[in-house]
Each structure stands twice: as structure tokens, then as C-alpha cells.
Chain A
Amino acid sequence: MAKSPETEHPLKAFGWASRDTSGFFSPFKFSRRATGEHDVQFKVLYCGVCHSDLHMAKNEWGFSQYPLVPGHEIVGEVTEVGSKVEKFKVGDKVGVGCLVGSCRQCDQCTNDLENYCDKQILTYSAPYTDGTITYGGYSNLMVADEHFVIRWPENLPLDIGAPLLCAGITTYSPLRYYGLDKPGLNVGIVGLGGLGHVAVKFAKAFGTKVTVISTSINKKKEAIEQLGADSFLVSRDPEEMKAAAGTLDGIIDTVSASHPLLPLISLLKPHGKIVVVGAPEKPLELPVFPIIIGRKVIGGSAIGGIKETQEMIDFAAKHNILPDVEIIPIDYINTAMDRLLKSDVKYRFVIDIAKSLKPE
């Protein structure tokens, strides 16, 4: 007999879920598995609101499983550990990001690239190894395999730091992989939202010179004065774009809406790279001549492996890299999603789960 979300596991849990493509959230009772020998159980303190949560809540990517409890920027405190767990103990502060499982044996997994494993298991709305569907961090309690749990450094704030678990690794990983982390390089960041603003902070911490590229002049003051960007380009201004042609070693493109690549390609020096981390649904136009004549590269990147995520969190703690957040109670989530849709947030909402999520 099919079990309900409330009864499929032994531990009672509650959260807020979206139940259909309207993406509207409401309280939801479900359950978590018992702590297995490799599992870490923790009470959720904070959870960041990622734009992916909004896409998934509305089934915009076509694979959402309802009821859907999103949230993959989760920070909490350990309440129980399995008998074979070595890295964590009760009371530890921990984080969980976008993944809670992978095959652990393929080439990707053995190279600490679980995020590129064919059998990766997403933190929410994905089939787990026990056949149940995963529920994310808009909830009071999580149980996760120790391998996918991140140690939270003592000096890193739990609330403000939460978005690093997705936005942070999503921008840190490509800056490293594509070699855009060398002091003195000129790096462009396209789009100044959740991903973009953290990308600016990491790029500055790597010693690069950062140019923010945005459609809107309104963000200029903040980009330069608050985020520390060195310069700002309005992509819709042909004069500014022309003056900056051939000046950038690399660009991190965080924009998920469809947009032209050619103006960005023109900003690159020869041998320059554009890394796309936003994911427009439709193909973009690739003008071939400029990438051949200049030996330029367009690549992608998706989050990062667990080892690198830990490295990124430790790096952020060491260099005091913190996202800019707006803390909200769980019952604000529907309004928050409306505002997120209009990019009306500087630059990530974080749900104060511990204080605001109460069972009915």
C-alpha cells in the first residue's frame, strides 16, 4: 500500500510545500527516515531561497514532484549521528547544499565531482535510494548522508552564510576551474543577483579586477561602493561596450534569461572565456568567427563537488566573504517568491527556520 508523506518514514517532520504549478506554499506535514549508520540528522536553523526553488515550485523545468519542499542552502545543528559517522557529532553546526547522494563509484564521483555524476540525487524533488522523494530545507529537520554534509566553520555566520551552499559554490567552482582566480586578471560578472553578487565577492578575494555587466545603471552605485567591483558596464550602452572591447580575461554569466552572446564575446581578450552558470531554456546564438579568430571559449558549470564545496565554505570563512541577505519568516515565503520573480531582493532571502517554522 502506498505510504503518505507523513507515514513513509518513522520521524515526524514539517515544512512548507508547493503542491501545484501555481507555486503557492503552505504548511506541510511529512516524515524523515531514521538516522542510518552513515547519516547525520540535524535541526534546520536557516535556509536560503534560491531562484531554482522558484523554478521547481512551479515545475518550470518539468521534473518537479509534488508536494515539493524546496531549499538547498540549508544550515543547521546536528541532533543525532549514525553509528559509522566519523566527521560529525551532536551539536556541530553543518550545512547541506544541492546534493544529498550520488553513485560514489563512477569516474566523476571518484574525482570529487559528485555534481557531474549521472546518478546524483538532488536535495529536493528527487528519488532517493530508498524509493522515496527527497524534501529540502524549508523544513524543521534534515537527515543526510555524512558524505554530503558540510562542516560549518565557527566564525561563519549561520544565517548570512547559508546562500554560499548554492550561490557560493556555483560561482566559486567555475572561477577556479576556468582559471579566472589569478590575481590581476580582468573578470566580468554578468547579472547582479544572488549568483552575481557572490561572484563579485569571490573574484575580488582572488585578487582579480572585477567589472560588473548589467542591463541597468541603477545597480552601479551598489556594485562599486558596496560590493567592491572595480567598474560597471551597462550592456545596453553600445559606446560603453565598444570602449571595453577586448579587455576581459573571462566572464561569469549568471543571467538565466535568453540574451545575446556576441556582445559578451567581444568584451573578451583573445583566449578569453565565458562561463555560463545561469541556464536559459532556449539555445543561444553562437557566432563562430569571433570565437575562432580569438581562440575564445564558452563553457558551462553546475554547482561543485562536495570537497570543493567544503573548500569554498572554508575560503569564505577565512576571507570573510558573506552574501547580502534579507532574513524572512517562513510565512513570508509566498511574498518573497513574488519579489524574487521581479529581482526585488538584495540579493538573497534567507528563511529563519528556527524562529519561524512551527508545527501547526
Chain B
Amino acid sequence: MAGTENSQKSFGWAATDTSGLLFPFHFSRRENGSDDVTIKILYCGVCHSDLHSVKNEWGFTNYPIVPGHEIVGLVTKTGSDVKTFKVGDRVGVGVIVGSCKTCDICQQDLENYCPKVIFTYNSKDQDGTKTYGGYSDIIVVDQRFVLRIPDNLSSGACAPLLCAGITVYSPMKYYGMTEPGKHLGVAGLGGLGHVAVKFGKAFGLKVTVISTSPKKESEAINRLGADSFLVSSDPAQLKAAMGTMDFIIDTIAAVHPLAPLLGLLKMNGKLVTVGLPDKPLELPIFPLVLGRKLVGGSDIGGMKETQEMLDFCGKHNIIADIEMIRIDYINTAFERLAKSDVRYRFVIDVANTLASN
């Protein structure tokens, strides 16, 4: 463990091996520097990436790992150079806590694409120590990577916006999915998908949910406000919807066929993939060429855009649909998440349930 630089005691839950089971874990955070903000964590969303990471499914986990990158909390300390936040402010921290800040990419407010980006957990921080995420009591973050939470949004339900929200908001802006009247397909109705539906409606789009489970239809339409629902395993439904969508946000994290989704696109349509399957997908070329269609990717968003997204949510009253849990439920929550058994994000009530022994 590092020496005097890490001088704030911290407590959280960590996984120590590929079983992915989490247990209480004591560690420490750095002292609050001049640019830093120390945050008492109130809530932390449970992202599917947390599950992939604790089990080392992507191959780059460095144990012990304290996940969590959908953090909402209260400022308890501010560094001498911090002007935009004060003690008591309600703030958020998302997927990244650092970048080089000086390269072309950072200067364009695209810190998430900086080659030296530092992730909220499982990353090497500037001082050489490992970053630990939000399944813990406090976090110390450079002010550039701290976000203001709009006053009218409830903390717990706002937490998932910090990853799920920006992950779908950013490509919706970048790929031009904001023109009212256009038709958006949302493939996969989980943490990412359900927020994409809400954003889609807020942008004035016609939204169709594309899912393998017919059971989700009533909820998609009646609760989330989708205009229609397509069961992708039903060839007749797929055929009837061919060539009807301007865009598709593909949130599906498992390997799945792209051909049917490409068929749903109109000419010049765009499919944006934000789910992270662990194997390559098959990409049929003819539909791309004959229809001038494209497949693009997107990865969260920069800090400026993440703040813009939160402010947009404040304006349109958009929050995630969550199931609040105690920290000691986390291992069960992960099992349920693996089976997509959650509507649509677990959020850990950290402040009330995380107690140091």
C-alpha cells in the first residue's frame, strides 16, 4: 500500500478474484489536493461493466477491484484551486477521473478519447496508485471530472445517468439522432436501452424497442413511452419493419447478429453500437454498400457533454428506473444482472448501508 500520499482512510466492497464475489475491503484515498474535491458517496449505480470487470471477463482486471462509476454524493472538502464547487454541493462522478488535459483531444472536451485517460476504477492514477470506484464511502476526484447534479433530480435515480445516460446521449448527438420525427430503434432494453428510449422521446423521435423478450412490451410502451415494440426473434415482425428506421442504438452486450438490425435501417441509416460483446460480430457488407448504411461505435462522453446531458435530464425530468439495494445484496444483484433480471439498474444505497466494521 502506498505511503503518505494516500492519507484518507476509505472503506468499500471489493472483488479479489475471478469469482467476482465482493467482500468488505479497507483501503485509502489520496489527500485532497489543490484541484481536488472529496465526496461522501450517497449512491452508486451498478453498471454491467462492473460485473464484467469483477470477473475479469475483458482480461485487464487488476485485483483487488472496487467497481462503481455511477456515483452521486456530497462535497466534503475542496482544494484551494477549486472554485466551482463548495462543501455540501450535490455532485456526480462517472466513468473517468483523469486525462492528460493538454492534448488536442482533451482540448476538444473529449477526455474520454484521450490516450492517457484514467478510469474511475481499475486504472493507474497520476500518482501511480490504483483507482478505486464508487462501491465505497468516499472518493477524491480532480474537479474537472466532477459533475453538478440538477436540483430537481433525485440522487439515487440520477446515478445511472453518469454512465448509462452519457453512453447513449453522446452517440445520439454525434450521429445526428436528434431531429424530431425521425425513427429510432433501441436494441436491448436494459440499463442503457431504457435510458435511450427516454432520451429518444425527449428528442421528439419515434422510438421502437427491439428486444428478444415479448414480456418487456407492455413496460416499454406504457411505462417508458416507446411508440412500438419489435420482437427480434420473430421473422414476420422483422420483415414488416424492414427499411423503416433512421437510426438504431444497439445496447446489446452479448454477441448477436447484425444482419437483421441492418435490414431494419432505411437507406443511409446508422447503427451505433455501445454494447461491448467479448467476441467480434459478423458484419455483412452488401447491406452497407447497397444502402449506404454505417455501423459506428461510441464510448461514454467527455466531461462537458456529460454535464450537458445531466442538465438536459434536469430540464426534461429524465431519471433512470432503478431498484435500490443494500451494499450487502451486491453479490445477489450481480447474479440477477447476469440474467438481465432488473428493471433497469440496481443502485446501491451507499450512505445508509455501507458501514465500516
Chain A interfacial positions (CB closer than 8 Å to B)? 108, 113, 116, 177, 261, 270-271, 273, 276-277, 279-281, 283-302
Contacts and interface: CB of A to CB of B under 8 A. Distances in A.
B283 A284 contact: yes
Most chain B CB atoms below 10 A, which of A277, A283, A289: A283
B285 A292 contact: no
24 contacts: A108-B267, A113-B267, A116-B267, A280-B285, A283-B285, A284-B283, A285-B282, A286-B280, A286-B283, A288-B275, A292-B273, A292-B276, A292-B297, A292-B298, A293-B297, A294-B297, A295-B297, A296-B296, A298-B288, A299-B292, A299-B296, A300-B290, A300-B293, A302-B290
A288 B286 contact: no
B227 interface: no
Contact of A291 (B287, B293, B297): B297
Nearest to A178: B294
Contacts of B267: 108, 113, 116
Interface residues of B, number: 34
Nearest to B171: A295
B281 interface: yes
A285 B289 contact: no
A61 to B, nearest CB: 9
Contacts of A113: 267-268
Contacts of A295: 113, 171, 174, 296-299
B283 A301 contact: no
Interface of B: 105, 110, 113, 171, 174, 258-259, 267-268, 273-277, 280-299
A300 B285 contact: yes
Given A288-B277, A289-B276, A298 B174 contact: no
Contacts of B297: 288, 290-297
Contacts of B285: 276, 279-280, 283-284, 300
A294 B117 CA distance: 12
A286 B294 contact: no
A284 B289 CA distance: 13
The DSSP consensus for interface residues of chain A is mixed
Most chain B CB atoms below 10 A, which of A116, A273, A300: A300
Nearest to A262: B280
B295 A291 contact: yes
A300 B298 CA distance: 19
Contacts of B277: 288
A291 B273 contact: yes
A302 B289 CA distance: 5
A278 B282 CA distance: 17
Contacts of B289: 276-277, 279, 300-302
Nearest to B108: A271
Given A279-B285, A283-B284, A288-B277, A298 B295 contact: yes
B239 to A, nearest CB: 15
